Amino acid sequence: MLQMVYNIRHYFEKRGFYVSSRLAERLGMRAKTVRLSFIYVTFATFGAGFALYLVLAFWLKIKDLVYTKRSSVFDL
């Protein structure tokens, strides 16, 4: 049973790194550089989404402060 798990793991590790190697060959780069660029793009994508969330939250807070509904003319 344990040998089967190792065989499956070896298969996926070999094929998974092969994708980076083939892409690196086509681009004329090292495979390590391709893997690092995937990691950097992943973190940048996550950071951009979080930054967008913070900007929208700030924008909604400012909108609520500026556009307050007044019930009558005497509230000025």
pLDDT tens digits along 11-69:
888 777 688 888 899 999 998 999 899 899 988 888 888 899 999 999 988 887 777 66
- Cα separation, 29 vs 70, in Å, equals 63
Segment holding 36, helix H or strand E:
helix 31-66
pLDDT reported for residue 30: 92
- Cα separation, 71 vs 32, in Å, equals 64
Single out the residue of 16, 36, 38, 18 nearest to residue 26, CA to CA: 18
pTM of the model: 0.51
- Cα separation, 14 vs 3, in Å, equals 16
Sequence ranges of the domains in the chain: 2-66
In a 3-state reduction of DSSP, which class is residue 30? coil
